């Protein structure tokens, strides 16, 4: 199966990853990370198509790959996933009829405004004689807008995934977990905290919370009198001057700790689980040592930074230092790229 570029279209940056696999060995063949130079999104909805398109073209140029096939992800309030229990041994056609009935009660939009998909996961542990089916729905506008932009580059989208499950795929393929080990990964993006709990190669809990690094960037830009893009650029490049780590960071960290504790509490009560003893961190927030150190102290949990490329061969032309700096931000893109390792049904 040809390799697919994992293309993670975030609200502030576009990240892309190309991974080649032969046998059990994975090799990072290319990556790119480009800022979107304007406030191009309102929540997860694209408002400035030109700004996103420009960043996508920069990504393609930086990747230097011939392949055009990509996997993209969607997230946000207009994306819904739920595991439902169904009768076993139904054909896709029969399942589809059932799913539509089920979806009608779950989805707050008319069914003709959403794309529906479903995947049988195997026997249900909680409902004897039934199978678990993962139902996913996304608003058509959100999917179509991304597909249109991506095709203009030109890339050809082959897979549209859900970002929380892409994070799970990254853990399945690129994190050395022990048998039965349960992992709790939190992706700290610009506008979202994405929680993914994973065990035995499957996502057992996925949830998004509206909070992200954008808050820190906003505070820094006000206090240092920089425009937001410049504040963000300096923060990520680790060139910010002044004593922001003493003045601005602690307030943001306290808010972030509160949000993470709330997110963990929601997971514990929904899944009837114990509080995890370790957190894996990915996303832009995981690239700031001062922040991750403060989280380790304030949450009282082991914090590990998730680098999806830690056990991978790295292509000869790749800038190893740059990769090291941005690796945690590329977790969702790496999970999207791993879709070329497995077959999927259309």
Residue 278 is part of which domain span?
177-305
My answer on whether 219 and 301 are in the same domain is yes
Segment 328-336 shows an average pLDDT of 98
Judged against a pLDDT cut of 50, whether residue 346 lies above it is answered with no
Mean pLDDT highest for which of 85-89, 96-100, 147-151?
A: 147-151
Judged against a pLDDT cut of 60, whether residue 170 lies above it is answered with yes
Judged against a pLDDT cut of 50, whether residue 147 lies above it is answered with yes
Q: Is residue 48 part of a domain?
A: yes
- 142-172 as b/e, with b when 16 or more CB fall inside 10 Å? bbebbbebbeebebebbbbbbbbbbbbbbbb
pTM of the model: 0.95
My answer on whether 335 and 201 are in the same domain is no
My answer on whether 197 and 321 are in the same domain is no
Q: Is residue 120 part of a domain?
A: no
Residue-level pLDDT at 103: 85
Q: Is residue 315 part of a domain?
A: yes
Give percent of the chain with pLDDT exceeding 70: 99
Kindly report the CATH number assigned to the domain that includes residue 328: 3.30.420.40
What residues contact 212, with CB distance under 8 A and at least 6 apart?
188, 189, 190, 191, 192, 193, 284, 285
Segment 111-138 shows an average pLDDT of 91
Q: Is residue 118 part of a domain?
A: no
| C-alpha separations of 47 from 16, 23, 145 in Å | 21, 42, 10
Measured CA to CA, the distance from residue 208 to residue 211 in angstroms comes to: 9
Q: Is residue 284 part of a domain?
A: yes
CB 53 within 8 A of CB 67: no
My answer on whether 63 and 160 are in the same domain is yes
My answer on whether 27 and 58 are in the same domain is yes
My answer on whether 273 and 321 are in the same domain is no
My answer on whether 46 and 155 are in the same domain is yes
My answer on whether 194 and 251 are in the same domain is yes
- Over residues 12-57, the pLDDT tens digits come to 999 999 999 988 899 999 999 999 988 899 888 899 999 999 999 9
Judged against a pLDDT cut of 80, whether residue 345 lies above it is answered with no
Q: Residue length, the chain?
A: 346
Give percent of the chain with pLDDT exceeding 90: 80
- Over residues 253-282, the pLDDT tens digits come to 999 999 999 999 999 999 999 999 999 999
Measured CA to CA, the distance from residue 315 to residue 332 in angstroms comes to: 20
Residue-level pLDDT at 27: 96
Q: How many separate domains does the chain show? A: 2
CB 165 within 8 A of CB 336: no
Measured CA to CA, the distance from residue 231 to residue 19 in angstroms comes to: 32
Cite the DSSP H helix spans in the chain: 49-63, 92-106, 140-152, 163-174, 214-224, 228-237, 244-247, 249-271, 289-299, 320-326, 331-337
My answer on whether 73 and 166 are in the same domain is yes
Q: Is residue 109 part of a domain?
A: no
Residue-level pLDDT at 120: 87
Cite the DSSP H helix spans in 19-65: 49-63
My answer on whether 257 and 277 are in the same domain is yes
Q: Is residue 207 part of a domain?
A: yes
Q: Is residue 124 part of a domain?
A: no
My answer on whether 195 and 334 are in the same domain is no
My answer on whether 191 and 339 are in the same domain is no
* Mean pLDDT value across the chain: 93
pLDDT band per the 50, 70, 90 thresholds, residue 163: very high
């Amino acid at each position: 199966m040809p390799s697919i570029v994992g293309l993670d279209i975030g609200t502030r940056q576009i990240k892309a990853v190309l991974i080649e696999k032969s046998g059990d060995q994975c090799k990072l063949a290319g990556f790119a990370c480009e800022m979107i130079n304007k406030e191009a999104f309102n929540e997860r909805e694209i408002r400035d198509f030109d700004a996103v398109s420009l960043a996508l073209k920069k990504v393609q140029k930086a990747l230097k790959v011939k392949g055009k096939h990509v996997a993209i992800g969607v997230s946000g309030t207009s994306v819904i996933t739920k595991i439902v229990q169904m009768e076993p041994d139904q054909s896709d056609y029969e399942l589809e009829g059932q799913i539509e009935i089920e979806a009608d009660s779950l989805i707050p939009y008319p069914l003709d405004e959403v794309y529906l998909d479903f995947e049988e996961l195997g026997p249900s542990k909680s409902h004897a004689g039934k199978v678990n089916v993962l139902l996913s729905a996304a608003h058509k506008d959100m999917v179509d807008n991304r597909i249109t932009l991506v095709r203009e580059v030109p890339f050809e989208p082959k897979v549209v995934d859900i970002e929380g499950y892409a994070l799970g795929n990254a853990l399945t393929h690129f994190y050395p977990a022990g048998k039965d080990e349960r992992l709790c990964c939190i992706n700290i993006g610009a506008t979202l905290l994405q929680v993914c709990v994973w065990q035995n190669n499957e996502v057992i809990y996925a949830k998004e919370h509206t909070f992200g690094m954008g808050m820190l960037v906003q505070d820094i830009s006000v206090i240092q009198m920089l425009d937001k893009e410049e504040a963000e650029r300096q923060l990520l490049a680790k060139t910010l001057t002044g004593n922001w780590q003493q003045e601005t960071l602690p307030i943001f960290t306290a808010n972030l700790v509160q949000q993470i504790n709330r997110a963990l509490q929601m997971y514990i009560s929904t899944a009837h689980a114990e509080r995890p003893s370790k957190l894996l961190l990915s996303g832009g927030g995981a690239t700031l040592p001062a922040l991750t150190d403060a989280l380790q102290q304030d949450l009282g949990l082991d914090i590990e930074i998730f680098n999806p490329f830690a056990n991978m061969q790295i292509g000869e032309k790749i800038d190893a230092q740059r990769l090291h700096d941005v690796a945690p931000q590329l977790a969702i893109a790496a999970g999207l790229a791993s879709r070329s390792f497995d077959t999927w049904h259309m």
